[in-house]
Chains A and B, each alone.
Chain A
Amino acid sequence: MYEFVRGPLALIAFIIFFAGSIYRIAYMLKGAKKDKIVFSHMSWKHSLASLVHWLIPFNNQYMRRRPIFTVVTFAFHICLVIGPLLLLGHVMLIQESWNISWWTLSETLVDWMTVVVIAGAAFFLYRRLSDPVVKNVTDSSDYILLAITVLPFITGFVAYHQLFAYKTMLIIHILAGEIMLIAIPFTRLSHMLFFAFTRTYYGSESGLVRHSKDW
């Protein structure tokens, strides 16, 4: 079982993730072309300005007004992406398979980052259940997406600390990660892919066409 999820299934998940992402971005670009105005409204300068104001914490008015949410969402997303990418165990697996490797963070640090992701997910879950606006627009898909996102981290944490059934946990962890990879292009987790595009388009339209700012 371990051999299967670690080997062929992982390869399939990576292929679906990369090919799916390329397909979805291509589909989006095709749609943007059909929209006719999108590309002519794009501008590098205003795109960059928009990214700078929305990718740096507290660099726009709204983030300053919601300090708790800002801290949580940045911590969550940074740890979510960086943690798994720079984990020694992951890099070693990739080196074994394809003989490529990169720099890694200390295991303790990644362990803490995992805790941050789990805590962040708990915060988002609490918000979904308690904030009337969010609750009203939440359906099962939102819970499923949150679960898909956080499961690899919970299982990874349990497996790393060998809390119980290490071998089984490890298999579940790998499976959870593969499900997440496959889900990214084809669910609303694709905001990971589209963020840069929606952000820069709105920034461009605000700046180039409407001579204003979007932050």
Chain B
Amino acid sequence: MKPTVVKRDLVEDYAIDEGVKKLTPERIEKVVNDVIDNETAGRLWTYLNTCIHCGLCAEACQWYISNDRDVSYAPVTKVKDTIWPMIEKKGKVDAEFIKRAAVISFTECSVCRRCGMYCPFGIDIAYMLLMVRRICARLDMVPLYLQDTVHSHAATMNQMWVKPDEWIDTLQWQEEEAQGYVPTSRIPLEKEGAEIMYSVIGPEPKFLAQLLGNISVIMKVADQDWTMPAYAGWDNSNMAMYSGDFEVMARVERLHHETAQRLKVKKIVMGECGHAFRGAEYDGPTWLGWMSPPIPLIHAIEFYEELLRTGRIKIAKKIEGPVTVQDPCNVVRNRGLGDKLRYIMNAVCEDFVDVSPNKRFNYCCNAGGGVINCGPPWKKKRVEGNRIKAEQLKRTGAHTVVTPCHNCHSGIEDIVDTFKLGMHVKFFSELLIEAMDIPANLKA
């Protein structure tokens, strides 16, 4: 099979460009065969022996559609240019091949699993691309920025090199901010036996601290018994899951769940993040050999839906004008929270405009799956490779798009900027804070 003709702008990535120089044929062969023989089994074998090369998966992929149906972006092509030759040649592929495989699997596929839903056989193409990432990770061929977050996970157990004192400091600062709205707001730390442990992703204390203040107010208004960990284990994000460093991934997930056990909480509620949910709810537990997490995990969408449905939070004034939503793959297509998301959107918005396609058929933001974490060198391709998302959002005519996922939030912001959509990009909690009723006895 001839290699696919590929036209791409030259992108410099220090880790990939230097890493490729250190690859030897023996090392590549050893790693590829070790992963294929010892880390994959029935699924990969069956997928390879079942795929009839029909190409029906292409229409699923936002990269393919947005790049004027460039065949090199079709899911089946990504498999053809990576794992097929690796297996066919029994690991005898050259360093340039591995470089291309790394670029494909890390920066041209967001492992959103839309293509799996379009395959008549139900072949999980994203799984195969994750195995390619695994091979690349073991060959030290991970994009620099992504690998940096993995180093941070391994060293600090959070994604953003947040130091222990900075964590506490940020929480105290945001507690004070929250008290500007509701004077009795708290961020209770290390409260053993609380009903809820609230966990967030590393970027929240690093860049988006106001979200911590928001949750403090929301928890107070909803009168919830909650706590946050004061020590490592507070971060529920997991970039190692996407880099292919599954050992670090497992350490991160285990610590997160063990922190909840240490605090003896009834459930973990997590902030608005998709990949973190995927890691903590199914990809992490799957690798650890658990059917489900030891302590139930509730995504922010489910949590807010319950608060709004049971009247724990009442809406004072709905958000005006058309507002739309981005369904994050990892909680909607891969978790079925689409209906609950619509319930909360309708609850706080006067004019909720749905996207099309929506729910599990929605297009990925192109930032998920670790793609945005590959950093600035890969940004242009990532944003331009999702023109279809810009068109989809534009059709709604909304002034605001709600993204209940951090990767979606950053990815959609880039798309809104690049394609000049003139929309606000907000988390759901930002809308909720604006719209909810703060009872008189709580007011400042």
Alpha-carbon distance A20/B333, docked complex (angstroms):
37
Is B55 in contact with A134, judged by CB distance below 8 angstroms? yes
For A38-59 the 0/1 string (1 means CB < 8 A from B) is: 1010000000001000100000
> In whole angstroms, what is the CA distance A110 to B212 when docked?
69
Task: Please state if B71 and A211 are interface contacts (CB–CB under 8 Å).
Answer: no
Interface segment among B38-46, B182-190, B401-409: the answer is B38-46
Q: Are B56 and A202 in contact (CB under 8 A)?
A: no
A28–B46 CA distance with the chains assembled, in angstroms: 7
Using CB atoms, name the residue of chain A closest to B116.
A202
**Cβ-based interface call for A157 (8 A):** no
B354 to chain A, nearest CB (A): 16
Among A32, A54, A190, A203, contact of B49 (Cβ-Cβ < 8 Å): A190
B120 at the interface (CB under 8 A from A): yes
Write the nearest CB–CB distance from B369 to chain A, whole angstroms. Answer: 15
A215 contacts partner chain B, Cβ-Cβ < 8 Å: yes
> Counting CB contacts under 8 A, is A111 at the interface?
no
Stretch of A84-92, A136-144, A158-166 contacting B (4+ beta carbons < 8 Å): A136-144
| Cβ of B206 to closest chain A Cβ, rounded Å | 29
Distance, CA A190 to CA B71, complexed state (A): 26
Interface positions, chain A 88-143, Cβ under 8 Å from B, are 131-134, 136-139, 142
**Is A213 located at the chain interface by the 8 A CB criterion?**
yes
- Does B123 have its Cβ within 8 Å of any Cβ on chain A? yes
Q: A24: which B residues are within 8 A, CB to CB?
A: 49
Best-surrounded residue of A73, A142, A188, A210 (most CB of chain B within 10 A): A210
Q: Does A168 contact B (CB under 8 A)?
A: no
CA distance A73 to B286 in the complex (A): 35
Most B C-beta atoms less than 10 A away, residue of A132, A137, A212, A213: A137
Kindly specify which of A3-11, A173-181, A191-199 makes contact with the partner chain.
A191-199
Q: Mark B1-15, 1 if CB is under 8 A from A, else 0.
A: 100100000000000
Q: Which of A36, A132, A194, A210 contacts B46 (CB 8 A)?
A: A194
Q: Size band of the B side of the interface?
A: 35 or more
Residues in B whose Cβ lies below 8 Å from that of A202: 116, 119, 121-124
Instruction: Indicate if the CB atoms of B74 and A35 lie closer than 8 Å.
Output: no
Is A67 part of the binding interface, using a Cβ–Cβ cutoff of 8 Å? no
Size of the chain A interface, CB-CB below 8 angstroms: 51
Contact A201 B122 (CB under 8 A): yes
Q: Are A191 and B121 in contact (CB under 8 A)?
A: yes
Inter-subunit contact B42/A29 (CB<8 Å): yes
Distance A36 CA – B64 CA, assembled complex (angstroms): 33
Q: Which residues of A contact B45 (CB under 8 A)?
A: 28, 31
Q: Is B311 an interface residue (CB 8 A)?
A: no
Task: Report chain A residues within 8 Å CB of B49.
Answer: 24, 188, 190-191, 194
Q: Are A133's CB and B50's CB within 8 A?
A: no
B332 to chain A, nearest CB (A): 8
A62 to B291, CA, bound (A): 30
> In the docked arrangement, what's the CA distance between A35 and B117, Å?
21
Instruction: State whether B77 touches A30 (Cβ < 8 A).
Output: no
* Max count, chain A CB within 10 A of own CB: residue among B54, B77, B124, B289: B54
| Chain B window 259-270, contacts with chain A (Cβ cutoff 8 Å), 1 for yes, 0 for no | 000000000000
Does A214 lie within 8 Å of B117, measured CB to CB?
yes
Q: Indicate if the CB atoms of B52 and A188 lie closer than 8 Å.
A: yes
Most chain B C-beta atoms within 10 Å of own C-beta, residue among A132, A138, A142, A145 = A132
Q: Are B77 and A137 in contact (CB under 8 A)?
A: yes
> Given contacts A133-B58, A134-B54, A195-B50, is CB(A213)–CB(B336) below 8 Å?
yes
Determine whether B76 belongs to the interface, using a CB cutoff of 8 Å to chain A: yes
B53 at the interface (CB under 8 A from A): yes
B80, CB-defined interface residue at 8 Å:
yes
Least distance between B334 CB and chain A CB atoms (Å): 5
Residues of B contacting A197 in the complex (Cβ-Cβ under 8 angstroms): 46
The CB with the most chain B CB atoms within 10 A, among A38, A54, A198, A199, is that of A198
Asked if residues A198 and B360 are in contact (CB atoms below 8 Å), the reply is no
Q: Which residues of A contact B124 (CB under 8 A)?
A: 202, 205
Identify which of residues 120-144 in chain B touch chain A, using a CB-to-CB cut-off of 8 Å. 120-124
Tell me the complex Cα distance, A1–B440, Å.
Answer: 97
A132 in contact with B71 given A34-B41, A34-B42, A38-B42 (CB within 8 Å): yes
CB distance from B298 to the nearest CB of A (A): 13
Q: Which of B273-322 contact A (CB under 8 A)?
A: 282, 286, 289, 291
Interchain CA distance A89-B5 in the complex, whole Å: 49
C-alpha spacing A24/B46, complex, angstroms: 10
A210–B120 CB distance below 8 A: no
Alpha-carbon gap, A33 to B121, bound state (A)? 20
**Across the interface, which residues of B come within 8 angstroms of A133, CB to CB?**
55, 58, 64, 69, 71, 74, 76-77
Which residues from chain B contact A132 at a C-beta distance below 8 Å?
A: 69, 71
Q: Which residues of A sit under 8 angstroms from B289, Cβ to Cβ?
A: 36-37
Q: Are A54 and B120 in contact (CB under 8 A)?
A: yes
- In the assembled complex, the Cα of A66 lies from the Cα of B118 at a distance in Å of 11
Closest chain B residue to A201, Cβ basis: B122
Chain A residue numbers with a CB within 8 Å of B51 are 188, 191
Q: What residues of chain A lie closer than 8 Å to B123, measured between beta carbons?
A: 198, 202
Q: Which residues of the other chain, A, contact B1 by a CB distance below 8 angstroms?
A: 137-139
Q: Which residues of B contact A137 (CB under 8 A)?
A: 1, 53, 55, 76-77, 80
CB pair B53–A138 under 8 Å, yes or no, is yes
8 contacts between A and B (CB under 8 A): A34-B41, A35-B41, A36-B289, A132-B69, A137-B80, A188-B51, A202-B121, A202-B123
Could you list 17 further interchain pairs (A-B, Cβ under 8 angstroms) beyond the known A66-B59, A134-B53, A191-B51?
A28-B45, A31-B41, A32-B41, A33-B42, A54-B120, A54-B122, A66-B56, A131-B55, A133-B58, A139-B1, A145-B52, A195-B121, A198-B46, A202-B116, A210-B334, A210-B336, A212-B360
- B residues with CB within 8 A of A: 1, 4, 40-43, 45-47, 49-56, 58-59, 64, 69, 71, 74, 76-77, 80, 116-124, 282, 286, 289, 291, 332-336, 360-361
Closest 6 CB pairs of A and B: A202-B122, A31-B42, A32-B42, A34-B41, A133-B55, A134-B55
